[in-house]
Amino acid sequence: MYNFLPHTAEDRLNMVKAMGLSSETQLFDDIPASLRHGITYKYLQPEGLSELELQERLKQLATQNTAGSYSSFLGGGAYHRFIPSAVNTIASRSEFYTAYTPYQPEVSQGTLQVVYEFQTMIAELTGLDVANASVYDGASAVTEAALMAARITKHSKLLVSKTLHPDYRAVLNTYTEALEALTIDTFDPLKSTVENLIETWPTDDVAAVIIQHPDFLGCLTEAASFNALRAYCDARGALLIVSSDPVSLGVLEPPGRLGADIVVGDIQPLGNNLSFGGPYGGYMATRQKYLRQLPGRLVGRTLDKNNTVCYTLTLQTREQHIRREKATSNICTNQALNVLKATVYMALMGPKGLCEVATLSMQRAHYLASALSKLPGVSLLAPERAFGFEFALSLPAPAEDCLTWMRAQNILGGLSLSAYYPEYPNTLLIATTEVNTDKEITHFIDVFGTWVESFNLSHSKKEASGALKAKETCPS
């Protein structure tokens, strides 16, 4: 029993004797007897399970998650993407897996160089100067970026897009409520163009404008809107924070070049498992001039005493273990294993691979959106807006009905938006990625079509014109 504990009974006896004690229990004499006695358990069994029994138990639980046999079009901030086998080969190496935080650079060069490469890759994708070693997830990255903007501008108002991921907005709310120092105003880019909305925005004390691009509904912010946001921020002394899916940045112009001061997002789509919501990792990138206010770990390149190039955690004085209550944040981890997976993933994909993943996902979304929106009573929620690999579809009936229908045909057809936006009860959010095969797409269209037909509505599906094979779409 307890075969993970190495001592034999004899070992324990010898150690107790060596300390001049008569019994191990003496080591707990400093705990008040009233606490020690009568410890009882309501749920825990006294005996542990053997490894074989554990195996049975866990396998049984895992198979009760029956979603695996469905083809999934779920998105909403977490995406089912292809993970090359080599990612897990590297990530499961004990040397990475069971290493401590790299506070001792002499014996942590592996982890440190990986993080340095990650920082560089994220800076490349976002078009900014510096990136940190990651924070908890996309939601915490947005929140930390907002707090960072408040420190830099010494302003207190946040203007937040309603199409920023609802969970990210919720987390931002939780933090700002606890801090009682920042106020949040939301704006709805579906109601009007950003250029028009800006007219109504405050003229002073604005710390940041926060948008998502592509946003929660999959929509993109046009270059002209970026220009308008940049101009507003410049005029008001505010920062522009953009949350972006990192895979989409394989093909999209980096937000840093479109005017963003801080770009954040979640690295889950870069080689990380869905795992029912975590662990993922939040990335944060910014301009050089804001470096000192960037929270989270940073790895720098330097030399050792023998003139060997090496890597080390640096600028640690911003962190809690030195600054305590004056730290930039209380965060004291980074998502190192997720960062490792993301780094290996990006290295394996390369610039072209990442562009292809993004492009293929978008081609599928656009194909699907075009086919579905031809059906009667079905239309894009925002037909005038460009989108990436995710889109919101207005339906003739509640989205839950549609999802139930699709589920009966082994399809997880997307997310009903009503949970997030009660004003859109009949709206479905659909995501496609490279793992949704051509066959799955066709099947989706068929099954969805039968659901629409079930309303006995007239059916005017247009014939697709001459089939063409896709050409190479990413520039070489």
Partner 1 sequence: MTAKVLETPIFEKSNPGARGVSLPVFGLDSTGLNRISDFLPEGLTRKNLSRLPELAQLDTIRHYVRLSQLNHCIDTGFYPLGSCTMKFNPKVCDLYGQLDGFTQLHPLTPESLSQGALEVMYRLQQYLADVSGFDRVTLQPAAGAQGELVGMMMVKAYFKKHQQPERTQVLIPDAAHGTNPASAAMCGFEVIELKSNREGGVDLDELKQKLSPKTAALMLTNPNTLGLFERDILEITRLVHDAGGLMYYDGANLNAVMGQAKPALMGFDVMHINTHKTFATPHGGGGPGSGPVAVNNKLAPFLPKPYADFDGSQYFLNNDLPDSIGKVKAFWGNFEMMARAFTYISAYGSEGLARVSQDAVLNANYLKEKLKTMYHVPYDLTCKHEFVMTSQRQKVTDPHINTMAIVKRLMDFGIHPPTVYFPLIVAECIMIEPTDTESKETLDRFIEVMSEIDRECRETPDVILNAPHTTPIGKVDEVAAARNPDLNYFSAAKAD
Partner 2 sequence: MADSHIIPDNVKLTETHEYLRIDDDDRARVGISHFAAEQLGDIVFIELPEVGQRIEKGDTFGSIESVKAASDLYMPVSAEVVAVNTQLTEEPELINDNSYGDGWMIEISLSNPDEVNELMTPAQYSQIAQ
Closer CB to partner 1, 419 or 457, in the complex = 419
**Least Å distance between CB 102 and partner 2?**
15
**Least Å distance between CB 456 and partner 1?**
27
Angle among Cα 75, 80, 86 to the nearest 5 degrees reads 155
Residue 23 binding target from partner 2, partner 1, none, CB below 5 to 8 Å by type? none
Closer CB to partner 2, 170 or 322, in the complex = 322
CA-to-CA dists, residue 110 to 105, 299, 334, angstroms: 9, 12, 15
**Chain residues that interact with partner 2, rule: CB under 8 A:** 292, 315-318, 322-323, 326
Residue 211 binding target from partner 2, partner 1, none, CB below 5 to 8 Å by type? none
- Bond into 246 cis (ω within 30): no
**Least Å distance between CB 105 and partner 2?**
12
Residue 280 binding target from partner 1, partner 2, none, CB below 5 to 8 Å by type? partner 1
Closer CB to partner 2, 331 or 375, in the complex = 331
Closer CB to partner 1, 69 or 456, in the complex = 69
A 10 A CB-CB count for 141 gives 30
**Least Å distance between CB 330 and partner 2?**
16
**Least Å distance between CB 316 and partner 2?**
7
Amino acid at 152: I
Closer CB to partner 1, 1 or 200, in the complex = 1
CA distance 402 to 70: 15
Characterize 206-243 residue by residue with b for buried, 16 or more Cβ atoms within 10 angstroms of its Cβ, and e for exposed: bbbbbbbbbbbbbbebbeebbebbbebbeebebbbbbb
Closer CB to partner 2, 165 or 318, in the complex = 318
Residue 240 binding target from partner 1, partner 2, none, CB below 5 to 8 Å by type? none
Give the pair of three-digit tokens for residue 359.
């492009």
Q: Please, which residues have CB within 8 angstroms of residue 26's CB and are 6 or more apart in sequence? A: none
Residue 113 binding target from partner 2, partner 1, none, CB below 5 to 8 Å by type? partner 1
Give the pair of three-digit tokens for residue 76.
């909403």
Residue 222 binding target from partner 2, partner 1, none, CB below 5 to 8 Å by type? partner 1
CA distance 328 to 326: 7
CA distance 401 to 396: 10
CA distance 38 to 476: 71
**Least Å distance between CB 314 and partner 2?**
8
**Least Å distance between CB 104 and partner 2?**
14
Closer CB to partner 2, 301 or 323, in the complex = 323
- Answer for the pair 229, 211: CB distance below 8 angstroms, yes or no: yes
Residue 54 binding target from partner 2, partner 1, none, CB below 5 to 8 Å by type? partner 1
